Each structure stands twice: as C-alpha cells, then as structure tokens.
Structure 1
C-alpha cells in the first residue's frame, strides 16, 4: 500500500511539472561576517582523508566552485583571502516507503512483525529475530554537503554551512551541485536556524 501511494504521489508531481523537478534541501548556516569584499578570493583546503581520495575531492570542489562563484567568491590559489573546506556524503538506506509486510510464500522466509519487532520469519518454524536487510529494489539516498570558510590571516572560521537532502533518485551528480548552491544561499548573512531551500532542475537530470 505504501509503495502504491508513493508511486501515485510521484506520478502526480511529475505530471504537474513534466520538464523540471525540485531539489529540496534543509540548510543551516553560521556566519561571523556581515559583508565580503568585492572579488574576494579563496583556495581549497583538504583534510588528510580528502587528500587520500584526490579525484573524488576534486570533483566535489568543482561543484562547490560554481556555487561559490555565484555568491561572489573567486578561486585564486596564488593570492587567496579565504580557504574553503568542502565535504559531501551520500548514504544508501531502505526507503521509508518500502513495505515491511513482504512474504515469499506460505512455506518460506519473509518479513513481518513479531514479539521482538520486524525481522525474518519461517512459517511453521517460529520467530527468528534477524534484522531487516534493505532491499535493492527500494533504495533511499541521504545526502549532505558542507562548506567551511576560514580567513587566512587569522585562521578564523567566518562561515559554516550544511545542506541535507534525501530521496529515491540516484542522480547525485546532478543533486550535489544544487545542494552546494542551496548551502550558500543567503551568503554572507543567511537566515538563522534551519530553512528549506528549493531549486528546480530539468527532469532529465534525475538519471545522471
């Protein structure tokens, strides 16, 4: 039933907007600056763990660079005013719309609810409290990006921001750049607290 409801909701959403879709991010930012000089410069800074995975980090930095440029920050490795530390993660979990009442048949393993919670059960053999394993057919992607700006002269953190998004689409290559844009919305004086930032993308980018 949950799957059917989710499918109907998804179809209704896409039919109302056939050429675009919305990436919704929950953003929280902290700032200690009111203004940024015109043409302010920065260079990227990497943690040791990020240096060990240089190709992936370079890809994330390219995504973040576009968002930083939109808010007036220009990359200049030779003469930077700030350093920018970039982070991102993508975690795959079981979809919250997945139906736990899934049985293989009257004489086989399946999923259900018993005295100890959800788990595997053998019909006629009693309850086995093994945990549910997320099914490959029902993935859910939890994403988070972060940007930390430091002033080089004082090594003081002047801006910190994070954006979170979750959903069923595999299109991280399209979603992460938009999340960096959302994370920097309002720079350098963002609203206080957690806020929802919605940015539209062409529907075709879902499968990237």
Structure 2
C-alpha cells in the first residue's frame, strides 16, 4: 500500500510538470576571496586516483568547465592563476519509498518473521531472520560534486564548494553538470551555511 501511494504521488508530481523538472541541490561553500580578477584563468589538477581514470575525469572536468566559465573563470593551461580540482560520485541505494518488509525468498517475494524480526524466511531449510534483499526495481541515486580552487604560487585554497542531490532518475549525465552550476552559484562570495539551489531542466533529459 505504501509503495503504491508514493508511486502515485510521484506520477502526479511529474504529470504536473510535463516539459521541465527541477534538480534540487544542497550546497555548502567556503571562500577566502572577495573578488576575482576579470578574465581570471585556471587549469585542472588531478589526484593520482583521478589520473588513473583519465577518461571519466576528463568528462567531469568538461562538465565543471562550463560552470566555471559561467562565473568568469577561463581555462588556460599555459598561464593559469588558479588550479581547479574536480570530484564527483554517484551511489546507488534502495529507494526510501521501497517496502522495507518485502523479501526475496526461494519461492518468490513474500513476508517472513523469525527470532530476529522481519526478514527472509526459508520454510523448508530451518533458518530465519536473514538480511532483507533490496529490490533492484527500486533504485535511488545519491550524487555529490565538488570543486576546490587553489591559488598558484602560494598553493592556498581560496574556494571550496560541494553540492549534493538524490533522486530516482538515472540521468547522471544531465544532472551532474547542473550540480556543478549549483555548487558555484554565488561565487566568489556565496551565502554561509547549507543552501538549497534549484535549477530547471527539460523533462526529456531525465533518462539520459
């Protein structure tokens, strides 16, 4: 019943916004600068682990570059003023709207109760209370992006920002660039504390 209710709620919400959807990010930023010189330049800096996965990192840097350009920073590998370290992660978990009492038993889905509470129950095998098996049909995606700017010469961190988002859509290729935009909103003097930044995208990008 609970799963059906939230499924209907999600459909109703999306049907009310047929041509666009909002990527909501929780952003927290720290700044050590008040202004940025016009035409300030940067180059990307990679950690050893990022260098080992160059293709993925290059893709993330391309996403971040568009957001950096929007706040007035221009990439110039030959004559940079700053270095920019880019990070991102996407974690798949069980949807918070999934039924926590549904288990995957040897005879299909069902309910069980043993000495350790609700869980998996094997009627013919003599064991009870094994861990609940999450259903692959109810994924939930938790995303985080980060940008760290350092001033070349002093190697001082002058700006650090992170944005977090979660939801049921697989559209990381569409969501991550928007999250970089959200992370850099307010640069170079962002509001203090955690803030919610909403950016609208076309609905068609949800499945990219």
Q: Fold conserved (TM > 0.5)? A: yes
CA distance in 2, matches of 1:178, 1:150: 22
Distance 1:102 1:40, change over 3 A: same
Q: Find the residue that maps to 1:176 and give its secondary structure.
A: helix
Segments of 4+ moved more than 3 angstroms: 103-115, 123-127
For 1:40 and 1:112, locate their aligned partners in 2 and report how far apart those are by CA, in whole Å: 62
Sort the Cα spacing of 1:111 and 1:151 in 2 relative to 1 into closer, same or farther, 3 A.
farther
Conservation of the 8 A alpha-carbon contact between 1:108 and 1:122: no
Would you say how many aligned residue pairs link Structure 1 and Structure 2?
Answer: 208
Larger mean Cα displacement after TM superposition, 136-145 or 6-15 = 6-15
Q: Which runs of 5+ in 1 are unaligned?
A: none
**TM-score for the superposition, normalised by structure 2:** 0.93
Distance 2:189 2:105 in 1: 58
2:105 partner SS: coil
Q: Which residue in 2 is equivalent to 1:113?
A: 113
Contact map agreement 1:109 1:120 (CA 8 A) in 2: no
Change (3 A) 1:148 1:113: farther
1:107, distance to aligned residue in structure 2 (A): 6.7
**1:134 Cα offset (Å):** 2.3
| TM-score (norm. length: structure 1) | 0.93
3-state secondary structure, aligned to 1:126:
coil
The correspondence of residues 84-163 of structure 1 with structure 2, limited to 5 A, is 84-102=84-102, 110-112=110-112, 114-123=114-123, 128-163=128-163
Structure 2 spans left out of the alignment, 5+ residues: none
